[in-house]
Structure 1
């Protein structure tokens, strides 16, 4: 016994059935048993319940429940454009769809709402493979709102690996605090730690509506307090231990970081000549899992003590 298959022809036949519905004879039109209407421009698509239910868990449940739409053999969709709906219905019939930067997010949102698992995976793969600095903040927000943890983590890694380029753009300034916190909490950012600190000050100024052109030393007391408050929840993700002594002195003079952090850095400087106490101090501080102040990316605690 031999088994033959021609999936390409099957795909084309079903695609033609859907795409040529308006040119079908009256008798052929009767084969369609469900209508989907796009409210945005009143475009109507004739479909088959069997196709819809086999391709979407949402429609399967809808038809099983025999709700109003099932009884009337039609439904109106308010949350999708006709072009996106056409692409998705065409995919239902042919198994083929064109995903691009313009439609990927819309298709993903629709697929998530209407439980089209295959398309969700296709869209997620496409978006992850085409992450861009210009759109990454929007992808972060989308990932969080839809609980797409894999895409969220991929976005964090992308930003971390492109951090030096990213912080030069206006898109960096639009990051939400929780996103920035998560990005700084990993080890993928390998640029100079002082540059990271400078970017945080820049971000904090933007969020606090402080003029970026104003030199740090010339900020008013009220402006410094606003800035310190803005960065208070993320400043402990900066690895001050990897700063040079001169860099530490400079930031302490500027008085831009919260007092609690400043006091720890001053104590660190004071203990430089007492290796034993310095070791105890660092060990104690590093017990806090959420603080990275004295956790070097490059040196062990013992190497820090001996340097």
Structure 2
């Protein structure tokens, strides 16, 4: 490549190049990188203070950064020399170290770029969400303070994931502790029922004792689904229950036992992994008016549990594909309705309909508004329903565009069912929401 045509390309030649360096940079992982003293100082006041302070660092050929890994330092060097970094330079393995290094050297533009990249990274990788690993890295190398924007971003992201979907080991004990502390102190969207919070914490503690103890506790402490299905569990304490109790001490104060039903305590108490006085005290405080999920509850519906209910389906409607699809037969000349089996909260009835029509209007009783959104008659239209059960309001996303909250609907029932109304050739598939 001929030099002199691109300043960016020419300066890239200097990045971590021992030929043009006059200082060695020793990182936390003992990997040695190379830099140009004058360029480093010109681009960072922190580095200028370190390299031209009149002390020994001003004269020695080596400077050490015992808290910064080489993976983060390489990003710093690329940014310092070129003024930008390639997006693909940041990966799940180095992005936290890069952010912390940018914070250390007070490179604010780089910090903001990395923060935007992390948000995009989380959004685009939702199905293989790495936020538990990223949160675990952050709590290890950054201060745990509520003004830490990266920490807040990641803890709120992890809170929206069911703990039961996070494999033990992906979330460190400190990260789990901070998650439970933060969600205990702040009303944030949270997905995991409190019983499952306790179960996950107990299993985590057991895993730290031994694999044998971990497997024993997995067998003796049922999931909510197993409890609901009346599966019989042998209620006995485990051999190493005292060691599990000791490991669990770090988490127990952030578990709200008032949200755990008394019937669920029948599976907890025999294990003898939390002090009897805690069980007795908290069981007396159980409040049936509290949600079983802390903060702002997020209710996750499993795909296997979601289907159209044959007992609540019009006579000219046909259910297909294991209950996922409802189809109007050619005999269905006028609208008929079908109800999903799932109830958003507990059990109950929904006497009235809050309806978004395929023509783009919404209605309920005397509320009728045209042009809420464009019509969606065509095949493949995708509708997402957003319920705010605290405000009892609703909004819709139609074909990827989210439309306004329908403030006219401020009296949604506390226990709604998803319902569709269709006629030939109408056809609907029901799916749980997948965040993208």
TM-score, normalised with respect to structure 2 = 0.46
* Alignment of 1:116 onto 2:114: no
* Alignment of 1:57 onto 2:56: no
1:228–1:256 contact (8 Å) kept in structure 2 = yes
1:147 is aligned to 143
After superposition, residues 243-262 of structure 1 pair within 5 angstroms as: 243-262=260-279
Q: Which runs of 5+ in 1 are unaligned?
A: 1-10, 23-28, 270-277, 283-291, 299-307
Separation in structure 1 between the aligned mates of residue 32 and residue 295 of structure 2, nearest angstrom: 60
2:8–2:82 contact (8 Å) kept in structure 1 = yes
Change (3 A) 1:86 1:218: closer
Aligned partner of residue 213 in structure 2, secondary structure: coil
Q: In structure 2, which of residues 254, 267, 272 is the aligned counterpart of residue 237 of structure 1?
A: 254
Greater share of strand: 2
1:166–1:172 contact (8 Å) kept in structure 2 = no
Q: In structure 2, which of residues 212, 234, 237 is the aligned counterpart of residue 219 of structure 1?
A: 237
TM-fit CA distance, 1:261: 1.7
1:200–1:231 contact (8 Å) kept in structure 2 = yes
Change (3 A) 1:109 1:115: same
Separation in structure 2 between the aligned mates of residue 224 and residue 201 of structure 1, nearest angstrom: 10
After superposition, residues 201-212 of structure 1 pair within 5 angstroms as: 201-209=202-210, 211-212=213-214
TM-fit CA distance, 1:67: 4.2
2:427 is aligned to none
Separation in structure 1 between the aligned mates of residue 252 and residue 69 of structure 2, nearest angstrom: 43
1:18 is aligned to 11
TM-fit CA distance, 1:199: 1.5
1:36–1:77 contact (8 Å) kept in structure 2 = no
1:189 is aligned to 190
Separation in structure 2 between the aligned mates of residue 124 and residue 67 of structure 1, nearest angstrom: 35
2:318 is aligned to none
TM-fit CA distance, 1:171: 2.7
Separation in structure 2 between the aligned mates of residue 175 and residue 97 of structure 1, nearest angstrom: 33
Separation in structure 2 between the aligned mates of residue 151 and residue 14 of structure 1, nearest angstrom: 33
2:72–2:99 contact (8 Å) kept in structure 1 = no
Separation in structure 1 between the aligned mates of residue 121 and residue 115 of structure 2, nearest angstrom: 10
TM-fit CA distance, 1:54: 3.1
TM-fit CA distance, 1:85: 5.8
1:204–1:227 contact (8 Å) kept in structure 2 = yes
- For residues 76-98 of structure 1, the C-alpha deviation after alignment (integer angstroms, 9 at most, x for no partner) is 56778888766544433432212
Change (3 A) 1:195 1:53: same
Range moving further from structure 2, 59-68 or 197-206: 59-68
1:143–1:151 contact (8 Å) kept in structure 2 = no
Change (3 A) 1:171 1:184: farther
Separation in structure 1 between the aligned mates of residue 134 and residue 6 of structure 2, nearest angstrom: 38
Separation in structure 2 between the aligned mates of residue 112 and residue 60 of structure 1, nearest angstrom: 16
TM-score, normalised with respect to structure 1 = 0.62
* Alignment of 1:36 onto 2:34: no
* Alignment of 1:199 onto 2:200: yes
Separation in structure 2 between the aligned mates of residue 81 and residue 264 of structure 1, nearest angstrom: 47
| Number of residue pairs matched by the alignment | 258
Aligned partner of residue 7 in structure 2, secondary structure: helix
- For residues 208-242 of structure 1, the C-alpha deviation after alignment (integer angstroms, 9 at most, x for no partner) is 3352222433334x622332333234334333333
TM-fit CA distance, 1:135: 6.0
TM-fit CA distance, 1:71: 5.1
Q: In structure 2, which of residues 121, 129, 134 is the aligned counterpart of residue 130 of structure 1?
A: 121
- For residues 28-65 of structure 1, the C-alpha deviation after alignment (integer angstroms, 9 at most, x for no partner) is x9xx8x723456787755x472x433310123224542
Q: Which runs of 5+ in 2 are unaligned?
A: 123-127, 221-234, 298-436
Separation in structure 1 between the aligned mates of residue 5 and residue 40 of structure 2, nearest angstrom: 17
1:111–1:119 contact (8 Å) kept in structure 2 = yes
